[in-house]
Amino acid sequence: MRKRLTLLCALAVLMSLTVIPMTAGAQEEQPDELDAILEDLSSDSVMPHLTTFQAIATANGDTRASGTTGYDQSADYVQTQMESYGYTVTTQEFEFDYYQYNSSSFEQVLPDPTVYVYEEDYLDMTYSGSGAVTADAEGVDLSLGDPAASTSGCEPEDFDGFTAGNVALMQRGTCTFGLKVQNAEDADASAAIIFNQGIEGAEDLFAGTLGSAATTIPAISTDHELGVALQDTNVALTVDAIAETRTTANVLAESSGGDPDDVLMVGGHLDSVAAGPGINDNGSGSGSILAVAEAMADVETDAKLRFAWWGAEELGLIGSFIYTFGDEAQGIEGLSPEEIASIRGYLNFDMVASPNYMLGIYDGDGSSFGISGPNGSDTIEETFQRFYGLEGSPHTATEFSGRSDYLGFILLDIPSGGLFTGAEGIKTEAEEEMFGGAAGVAYDECYHQPCDTIDNVNTDALDINVDAIAFTTYNWAVDPSFEDVPEDHLFHDDITWLARERITFGCNPPDNTLFCPEDSVTRGQMAAFLKRTMEVPASETDHFEDDDESIFEDDINAIAEANITIGCNPPDNTNFCPEDTVSRQQMASFLVRAFSMEGDESADRFTDDDFSVHEGDIDVLAENRVTIGCNPPDNTEYCPLDDVTRGQMAAFIHRADVNLDVTTNVVEAAQVGEAFTR
């Protein structure tokens, strides 16, 4: 049975303002359980772990980078802690290309002697080779007149006539940096300089990676203006770096309870960059996960909890991609289709205590940045929003940019989300108003620097975020149920599915201990159910005149924009009638339009709907096995004028989901690492 949440949908804050009750007969105890967890957790729960990570870094050259003893000791510490909490711990070892930058220099010798400044004028490229070179900079197939067309260095033929021993000066564009540098090395270049392409958004100094330690010549990057100016100059270039294959490991820990075929994963990367101890990036996420794991150790969850600390994230999300996709060359298998289907969601925590923080939630529904996660990612976002709302805390969206370990899970269509408090980006004035701190200053001025120490952690951000992590982990690991839906209820399985999918939280907010299965569904409620189920995008158009006071106005406008409804007062259709109840015949049309069902509209399957303008949709609904009728066992009738109850509605939507394929936007695989490798 497919256990993972394939149709998780937007969580309406107005539908539920307190903790979701979880098991029948324990409606009072479960909220108290979560309340107790949140009461006990604070930044004080996390700081001892960060202190340990700092001590490990201090004892190991001020780093916890994968492939170093600092990382190995951090992994051992996590394993020891998790085993002491009662989790089963495994490690997943793998080889990777290690990179450590030590120093560099770059200057123009002739005709205009100039010393360039590291991080202002140039950067080393990750996996650069080491060496000292003084030679002429020779342009390679540059496209300065039409920079968008640049293929500089992408073909071996680009180096026809290239002078051996010169520095290959190449322009960004079309192919990977690694291929450009490999072709340059094959043409006997002594070093490589890649300057930015020169189109909008690709003009400034950039950080890039060669992807592996396959080449040995020094390689640096510059902005477009400097790169153009370096043509026909003589330059002196040195890079001192380590680029070699090493071994590291992911650390995975599972709870003893929970369904092994229904898993919630919670993770973050454990490694730092080679340049520093990485206490905010990402000791803060790693330590918070440890604290939450300890707090959740005795909780009886429906889903099995699987916590993960990823290795080699700083060199390109390597550990999490090893886990999700495997590595054939190393004989490591990725997740099987069955394992993918078993993961109900992945929560990622990377930098959750930045000094000049913002409280960022990954934009699961794509409403802020235009890239949404798989179905369910929007609901993860909404769960975090619900927590901050309960706390009265401001929050903002942060982009699914592909820069952290959620990416592999998104590419496998697994619902994903998490928190992020900012890295090298600059805090805006609006964010200063929301969160305090200083506008015009980086969220973390010590990002990837030696100063990312225990003193680089904002305990206020850490204090609220460790609770946010626990709140969302709990609510995603423990399934909701209702007092008025016993296990022998006709629609128990359908209502349980609806609640698990976060399409509903109940009918009596803020407690939401009831579902009210016998109540009739209103048109406003129907709009909300369909919008969440189908993940219908929001609409900026006010389609109707009579829903301005309805809490479902946004849902109504969304389904109108999607042509699921045109209104309730034809031919004008200026009204939606949000408080009117939904009849079974209307439900048929709603579902046929929402799910784009196809079928024979003239089949005449029932004897009591010949009068109905919805008869064709009723026949299509039956052909798609969403209904069989209303008078079993004969089922010759549909009862088109009867109101739809909330229990029936759950069954209709559940069957439609099972019988029809519903998809959503996901980040395309082609986007993986594009900003850093090309």
What positions carry a catalytic annotation?
A: 313
**Strand partners for 248:** 94
Residue type, 562: A
Closest by CA position to 610, among listed 587, 590, 640:
640
DSSP string covering 186-244, please?
A: HTT-SEEEEE---BTTB-S----B-SSS---S-EEEE-HHHHHHTTT-EEEEEEEEEEE
Find out whether 466 and 292 touch, Cβ atoms under 8 Å. Answer: yes
Please give the Cα distance from 131 to 167 (Å, whole number). 12
DSSP single-letter state for residue 455: G
Please give the Cα distance from 1 to 10 (Å, whole number). 24
Q: Which helix (H) or strand (E) holds 37?
A: helix 29-40
DSSP string covering 121-141, please?
A: TEEEPBT---EEEEEEEEE-S
Q: List b or e across 288-314, with b for residues whose CB sees 16 or more CB atoms inside 10 angstroms.
A: bbbbbbbbbeebebbbbbbbbbbbbbb
Find out whether 248 and 314 touch, Cβ atoms under 8 Å. Answer: no
Residues 6 or more apart whose Cβ sits within 8 Å of residue 548 = 542
Residues 6 or more apart whose Cβ sits within 8 Å of residue 32 = none
Q: Residues for the chain: how many in total?
A: 678
Please give the Cα distance from 144 to 592 (Å, whole number). 54
DSSP single-letter state for residue 442: B
What angle do the packed helices 285-295 and 69-85 form, to 10 degrees? 10
Q: What angle do CA 333, 335, 341 make, to 5 degrees?
A: 160
| Dihedral, CA of residue 363, residue 364, residue 367 and residue 368, to nearest 10 | 10
Q: What angle do CA 652, 657, 661 make, to 5 degrees?
A: 145
Please give the Cα distance from 600 to 139 (Å, whole number). 66
For the record, the structure tokens of 660 come out as 């029809």
Find out whether 608 and 640 touch, Cβ atoms under 8 Å. Answer: yes
Please give the Cα distance from 471 to 380 (Å, whole number). 11
For the record, the structure tokens of 131 come out as 């060496």
Largest CA distance in the chain: 94
Closest by CA position to 67, among listed 79, 75, 59:
75
Please give the Cα distance from 152 to 143 (Å, whole number). 7
- Residue 400 φ/ψ, nearest 5 degrees: -75, 80
